[in-house]
Structure 1
Amino acid sequence: MAGGTLLGARPARTMPTALKLDHRKPITYESALNKDSNIIRQAAHLEAATELYQSLWGQRQTIQALVKHHLRLSNRDTVIVNAEDQWIRGSFNVCIPIEVRSTRFHKKLMFPCPMPHKLAEAKYPSTVDEKLSSEVGMYVIMLFECLDIRIPHLYGFGFLTTTIGPNPYIP
């Protein structure tokens, strides 16, 4: 129909000038064309990452309780989960800085958490547990075989279904 509109037709949407990416600056269409990486996949990860960060922040008390358990701290000791803007985001993990104030020691620790959406956990269940078991296994190998490499102390670890630690097999 020339000059008219069809009933039920939606107005044309304009494309956004830039795509939001997880923990990166937004990217324009033009600059996305020049990238070798899959920008569409990165943009899709934003919602899953945001949900994960909100979930972890909402579980601060659980994280504090886990840290107290693994360090054998008392209820009088303080464990602080640092603010989300201080979290370190990698390709497959988010590391949450933790501050411990105890009569025994004052330390700054990292609480690493795998990002299930980056490991396709929804499509392939147990990939998070497999990643963690590989990392802990490599930690133990390096601890005993690479004596000249400085390795951070592992206080404990947990799978989606089980938590392990303090562990007598890991000094």
Structure 2
Amino acid sequence: ALKNNAGSADGAAGLLGALSNSKHSGGGLLDNLGSILGGGGIDDDVMADGGKILGHVFGGQESNAAGVISKASGIDMNSAMSILKLAGPFIMSYLGKKVLGGGVSDGKGLGDMLGGLLGGGSGVQQQLASQIQGFDSNDSTIDDIAGMISGKGGQSGGLGGLLGGMLKNL
């Protein structure tokens, strides 16, 4: 679903519009990260926004994604879904700050920015970037999600490696 959405002119324009929205480009969540993680709490609006973001990213496969995370990590399904809902707005805030700071104004600029962020990392991160770009809502959705989380071929990294790399760049 992500590949299909971002691969079209309308999808890229929609993503660029969402990233340019002050909710995301202002970096509000990232600017308050210490407070939030220090017990300041997450409000219902953040979680609702996260649910919407998941719908766009996973194309209706959110429950499958949460199920894979639950199985891989040993946490319950509701906790896995909450983690996904929380991650969405943080990632959008990060990308929104990059759009605002980098002067990205069109689909090509957006593609270049995402390619630079995802393609400039370690081998595991580059592998993950190609998996994310190939993710769609087909019969192998569960395999796609499992590969994103765990990394392929027994390598460490996976989704944690990608998110860790992003956090280092904050």
* Common topology (TM > 0.5): no
Q: Which has the larger radius of gyration?
A: 1
Which of the two has greater strand per residue?
1
Query: TM-score of the superposition, structure 2-length normalised?
Result: 0.30
Query: TM-score of the superposition, structure 1-length normalised?
Result: 0.30
Select the structure with the greater relative contact order (CA < 8 A; seq sep ≥ 6). 2
